[in-house]
A = this chain, B = another copy of it.
Amino acid sequence: MTPTVGIALLGTKFMGKAHSNAWGQAARFFDLPCKPKLATVVGRNQQELDAFAERWGWEQTAPQWQDVVADDAIAIVDIATPNDVHAEPAVAALAAGKHVVCEKPLAGTLADARRMRDAAVSSSGQSFVWFNYRRCPAIALAHRMVRDGRLGRIYHVRASYLQSWGGPDTPLLWRFQKAHAGSGAHGDLNAHIVDLARFLTGDEIVEVHGAIEKTFVTERTIPGTDAVGTSDVDDCVSFLASLAGGATASFEATRLAVGHLNRNCIEINGADGSLAFDFEDMNTLRFCDASDPASERGWRRIVCTAAEHPYMAAWWPDAHLIGYEHGFTNMAADVLRVLSGAQAEVPLPTFVDAYETQRVLEAALIAARERRAVELTEVP
C-alpha cells in the first residue's frame, strides 16, 4: 500500500493557495510512490483558516507554526509566509527533523538565509525551495538539452523578469515594505532568474561587475486608509555578472515595465546553439541549433506539450497547454518522489543551493551601493 506523508502548511494567501493546489493536484495527476496527506494548515484568523481548510481539503488547522513542528504526524513543513517569517519556523522544523519546503527567496536577509542553510545542513530532514519555474516543462527541457551538450561552450546568459504592477497607484502591500519583504523586485524576481541561470548552466556566478538599484515610487497609500506610507524597497535592480566558465550574464528585475505582465525571460547563447524561454509563452522553448545548415537555420518554437517533454505525460494527451500553477504541482510531485527515494524529473533546489542564489543577490546589492565590481568570494 502507498505510504502517506503528512504535510503542514504555513500561510493562506497567494502562495498558500498555490501550494494547497499543488499537493492536491500532484496526487490526482501523478502516479506517486507516496500519498500526500493535507494534515494541518496554520494561520492566525480562525474564520479565514476554517474556510481555507475546507476549500482545499486540509484536515485540521492550527494557530501557530510551533504546533506542527511538534506534531509527529507531520513530515513536511511547507512555508508560504512573507519573507521575514521563513527563518524561524524553517530552522525549528529542520531541528525537529522535519522536511521543509520553503517559498523563495530563501529569506529576506542574508543572515536569515545563512541560518536556514546551516540548519538544513545539520538536519536529518531535507530542504527544498519553491523555485517553481525550474519545473515548467520548457525549462526542464532546456536543462536536459544543456546537460546533453546541445549548446557547447556557453558565451552569454541574458535574464530579465519584467512586471508592470508596481506603479504609483499600487498601495503599500507588504511586498513594498523592507521590514517584511527584505527587498522589492530584487528578492522577488531576480531570485527566480538567478536560480534559473545557475540551474540551466550548471555554473556559478563568480563576479558582479556592476549593478543599479532604484526606487522610483517612494510613497504609497496604506491599504484601507487615506494615509500615505513609505515604499522603501527597490522597484528595479539590474546587474551584470560573470560565470566561472567565462560566460557573461545580465539580470534585470522591475515592476515598472508597462506592457510586461509576468515576463520571466532567460536566454543562453552557446557556441553550438541557443535557447530562449519567456514565461508569457510558458509552454514553449525556443532553440536555435548552430549545426543546422545555414539556409535552414532559425529559432525553433518547440511547444512542450508532448509526452516526450518533462512532466507532460502526467497531464493531458499531447498538445494541451498547461498554466502557471502546474509548475508548483510538478514540484510537489518531485518533492514527494525524492522523499520516497525516487528521482526528481530535474534537480530540486535545496537550502544550500538557494543560499548560493542569495549570495549573488547580496553581491549585486553591494555592487549597487558601493558603485564597484564585487567578487562572490567577498560575500560570506
The count of residues in chain A whose C-beta lies closer than 8 Å to any C-beta of chain B is 95
Which residues of A from 279 to 337 have beta carbons under 8 Å from B? 279-284, 286-288, 290, 292-306, 308-309, 316-326
Main DSSP-derived SS at the A contact region: mixed
Given contacts A165-B318, A238-B240, contact A294 B271 (CB under 8 A): no
The reply on A216 being an interface residue by CB < 8 A is yes
A309 CB, min distance to chain B CBs, angstroms: 6
B14 touching A28 by the CB < 8 A rule? no
A residues with CB within 8 A of B? 14, 17-18, 21, 24, 27-28, 55-56, 141, 145, 155-156, 158, 160, 163-165, 167-168, 208-212, 214, 216, 235-236, 238-240, 242, 246, 248, 250, 252, 254, 256-262, 269-274, 276, 279-284, 286-288, 290, 292-306, 308-309, 316-326, 367-368, 371-373
Q: Judge whether A324 and B321 touch: CB under 8 Å.
A: yes
* A261-B305 contact given A167-B271, A250-B252, A271-B167, CB 8 Å threshold: yes
Chain B residues near A167 (CB, 8 Å)? 271
Name the contact of A211 in the complex, choosing from B56, B209, B260 (C-beta under 8 A): B209
Cβ-defined contact, A155 with B295, below 8 A: no
Q: Is the CB of A257 within 8 A of B141?
A: no
Residues on B with beta carbons closer than 8 Å to the beta carbon of A272: 258
Residues of B within 8 A of A294 (CB): 306, 308
A320: B residues at CB distance < 8 A: 262, 323-325
Knowing A258-B272, A288-B259, the reply to whether A298 touches B301 (Cβ < 8 A) is yes
A296 to chain B: closest CB distance in Å?
6
Contacts of A211 in B (CB 8 A): 209-210, 240
**Once bound together, how far apart are the Cα atoms of A266 and B160, in whole Å?**
14
Q: Give chain B residues whose Cβ lies under 8 Å from the Cβ of A372.
A: 210, 371-373
A-B contacts, 11 of them at CB < 8 A, read A14-B316, A28-B55, A212-B242, A240-B240, A262-B305, A262-B319, A295-B308, A297-B302, A371-B372, A371-B373, A372-B372
